[in-house]
Structure 1
Amino acid sequence: MFEFKFTEEQNMLRDMVRDFCNNEIKPIAKKIDEDEKIPRELINKLAEIGVLGVSFPEEYGGSGFGEVGYCISQEEIARGCMSTATFIGAHQSIGTNAIYLGGSEELKKKYVVPLAKGEYIGAFCLTEAQAGSDSFNVKTRAKLDGNEWVINGDKLWITNGGIADVVSVFARTDKGISAFVVETKTPGFSAGPAEKKMGIKGSTTNPIIFDNVRIPKENLIGHDGRGFLVAMKTLDAGRLGLGAACLGAAKELLELSTKYAKEREQFDTSISNFQAIQFMLAEMAIMIFNMESIVYRTAVEYDLKKNISRQSAMVKYYCSESLDVIADYAVQIHGGMGYSRELPVERFYRDSRINRIFEGTNEIQKGIIARDVLKRNGRLE
């Protein structure tokens, strides 16, 4: 057995991202929510400090911190703004990662490098009107015409869709579902108006239209007909990063709630002296301990190239469910002030709810977990 401990470099990364979040993100997080937009200046600053490619090797333009480093970064970003964490996740963990995991060396050099450096913004185009949880049911078509693929179809709920420079697209060919890299400046590509959402309002979410979009034959990611495997492997990492963001938000809410409980007085005493408040804080702390444990245990296994499909589904399920409870407790502890937009607690409450839906609903996660349990006859080694 070994000590659960981060390296000196990982702790330095955490300190750097935390300082950045405190100085650059938290002061404008409310405005990001109200304006429903992340300022381009903030995106440029995120690129400058290496956060937009923190997980990728340096040879591909990244910072070389792997999945553990990415989870550390997302945890700290989410303490300030879940919209910004969502933007980064869609760009790095799924949009760019699909190319990194499945693409040829030429594709990785051409696209992963500028994406990891933040010179391009990425997105992941899988979901369609009839292909949400049933993601295999994609109707978007790609047909080979000489040395070009021609893509036609519609995508929905695409995070970063309206601001992306490069998208990873999943479309059906004669051989099955395939994955492609599409530059959004290509004729025939268009993004619809941003969705009006309950939470993560600063993260833009758009429908995408492909109208005879022609891309080079070489922009196929991996092999024709094998794109669905690329999508599923990519989502393994996406779900893990989502869990890390939930962890960061949960930690922030516990700190805010504890501080408020110690300062707020009723019946001539601090409300932190009431068992009802103490029990909520205790439950929040228990969930956070569990969240942190499974996030980083799984991230280590991911960096060791192990199959973590079941584990990442567990991370996504448990962390998103826990954050919803923690956010609710935070509102309750803050009372009326927790319901007011004067404090960030209500924003965290609204931002939390989507985590049980996107990157595969929690019902889908339980299905993934159950299938693996049955396959292994209940043995979880």
Structure 2
Amino acid sequence: MNFELTKEQQMIKKSASDFAKSKLEPIAYDDDRSGAYPDSAVSEMAKNDFLGMRISSEWNGVGADFTSMVLMAEAFGKANAAAAAIAITHNVMAADPIQKYGTQDQKSRYLPLLQSGQKLGGFAVAEPGAALASGPDKVTAKKEGDSYVLTGKKTFVYNGGVADLYLVIAQTKEEAGQKGISVFLVDGAQVKTVNKIDKLGLRAFPTAELEFDHAKAELLGKEEDGPEITADIQAKADIAFAAMAAGIGDAMLEDSAMHCKTRIQFGAPIGRLQAVQWLLAEIASQVHLLRLMAYQGAACADTGGNYVEEAAYVKMHAMKAGVDAGMNAVQIHGGMGYSREGKIERYFRDIRGAFLIENAVDYPQRTIAGSLLK
């Protein structure tokens, strides 16, 4: 696979990197400590067209390919992972599916508002205490006239409690179980935030439990198209979050390399010690793996390849690579790697949170094996 970037991709990469360094990195520490939603940073994203990355120029968006989206996710992840997660959710898990599966009317009503930042997109799939479409609080959809109403609860909703428009996975055909699910668009005003979830990492990335009490909803796509649409959304999100993790890993690698050069023990920099060199090399290889997997998945999405299968490889291996990189970075920094006064412990917490997207436990293995056994 050729990963040579086009001129447009190079421009987007530089633009995203410059923006992240100037607008996102300076607030990352304080946002992590407070856990507050970075509304001013999100407004700046909108002003600089980062909330319309995948939206067509027909709706005033950038119309960028998925590789460009991944480059943005990586640049944002390096500077401020929580802000990156907000942008990924909005672009990949809300705007992109509406553009791909929505009616012309839905596109014309929602995409310009999502592009401008007047509406922030969120994604709701997980349900409290049970697998999707199986527990007592499962979200069900009933048709009433020309629209639908949703009842039930969702947990760990991405951009939960702050989004203006949610993509919600709900059951429309109860006897079909998880195969009888559909995707809906729900206005944020129709939803009650039951609990804002305080997390170990990505603390300024809002996640919440939401309650739907006869909430009015619009169908996205067709009834019972939910499994296909959900798999599509989650595959692209897996790839984008892997790119975000590569960005976090790159920040860890740079800090670790500098520490190896400047930390003096026994009269010499610790980078002279073979054991430390090996740890540094491990981090570099793990970050390289994350980046390659994200770029490969994005290239498949752009060229009509099987990016769902690529995302399964990401799901199987990227989390371990990211967490191992974090462990090695903490080890290199010693006690300061465990201290909240430095950046490494935040990177470690954030990179673990990059892979929490709701999927069936056996999704990667089942997807890969199914492809091989066709």
Per the TM superposition, whether the score is higher than 0.5 is yes
Q: Which residue identity is paired with 1:181? A: L
- CA separation of 1:261/1:80 partners in 2, compared to 1, >3 Å: closer, same or farther? same
Shift of 1:201: 0.7
Shift of 1:362: 6.8
Structure 1 equivalent of residue 201 of structure 2: 199
Structure 2 equivalent of residue 250 of structure 1: 249
Structure 1 equivalent of residue 192 of structure 2: 190
**Bigger Cα displacement from structure 2, 53-62 vs 356-365:** 356-365
Asked if the contact 2:164–2:187 (Cα under 8 Å) also holds between the matched residues in 1, the reply is: yes
2:135 is equivalent to residue 135 of structure 1 = no
Aligned equivalents of 1:102, 1:332: Cα separation in 2 = 46
Q: Specify the SS of the correspondent of 1:135.
A: coil
Aligned equivalents of 1:298, 1:203: Cα separation in 2 = 24
Shift of 1:369: 2.4
Structure 1 equivalent of residue 39 of structure 2: 40
Shift of 1:300: 1.3
Structure 1 equivalent of residue 162 of structure 2: 163
Asked if the contact 2:126–2:132 (Cα under 8 Å) also holds between the matched residues in 1, the reply is: yes
Aligned equivalents of 1:173, 1:122: Cα separation in 2 = 22
Structure 2 equivalent of residue 369 of structure 1: 368
Q: Specify the SS of the correspondent of 1:79.
A: helix
Aligned equivalents of 1:60, 1:239: Cα separation in 2 = 26
**Bigger Cα displacement from structure 2, 88-97 vs 64-73:** 88-97
Q: 1:220-299 to 2 correspondence within 5 Å?
A: 220-299=219-298
Aligned equivalents of 2:264, 2:200: Cα separation in 1 = 32
Shift of 1:361: 6.8
Structure 2 equivalent of residue 146 of structure 1: 145
2:181 is equivalent to residue 177 of structure 1 = yes
Q: Specify the SS of the correspondent of 1:223.
A: coil
Asked if the contact 1:61–1:114 (Cα under 8 Å) also holds between the matched residues in 2, the reply is: no
Shift of 1:66: 1.4
Shift of 1:315: 2.1
Q: Which runs of 4+ in 1 moved over 4 A?
A: none
- CA separation of 1:62/1:359 partners in 2, compared to 1, >3 Å: closer, same or farther? farther
With normalisation by structure 1, the TM-score equals: 0.91
Paired residues in the alignment total: 367
Aligned equivalents of 2:287, 2:111: Cα separation in 1 = 33
How far does the alpha carbon of each residue in 1:261-290 deviate from its partner, in whole angstroms, 9 at most, with x for none?
Answer: 101110100111111111111122222222
- CA separation of 1:206/1:265 partners in 2, compared to 1, >3 Å: closer, same or farther? same
- Structure 1: 5+ residue stretches without partners: 377-381
Structure 2 equivalent of residue 210 of structure 1: 212
**Bigger Cα displacement from structure 2, 72-81 vs 12-21:** 12-21
Aligned equivalents of 2:43, 2:208: Cα separation in 1 = 22
How far does the alpha carbon of each residue in 1:286-320 deviate from its partner, in whole angstroms, 9 at most, with x for none?
Answer: 22222222221221110123331110121233222
Asked if the contact 1:247–1:319 (Cα under 8 Å) also holds between the matched residues in 2, the reply is: no
Aligned equivalents of 2:112, 2:320: Cα separation in 1 = 35
What percentage of aligned pairs have identical amino acids? 28
- CA separation of 1:296/1:362 partners in 2, compared to 1, >3 Å: closer, same or farther? farther
Structure 2 equivalent of residue 379 of structure 1: none
Q: Which residue identity is paired with 2:29? A: K
Structure 2 equivalent of residue 320 of structure 1: 319
Asked if the contact 2:159–2:207 (Cα under 8 Å) also holds between the matched residues in 1, the reply is: yes
- Structure 2: 5+ residue stretches without partners: 175-179
Aligned equivalents of 2:252, 2:361: Cα separation in 1 = 22
With normalisation by structure 2, the TM-score equals: 0.93
Shift of 1:61: 3.3
Root-mean-square deviation (CA, aligned residues, Å) is 1.8
**Bigger Cα displacement from structure 2, 195-204 vs 302-311:** 302-311
Aligned equivalents of 1:288, 1:361: Cα separation in 2 = 26
Q: Which residue identity is paired with 2:97? A: A
Aligned equivalents of 1:96, 1:12: Cα separation in 2 = 22
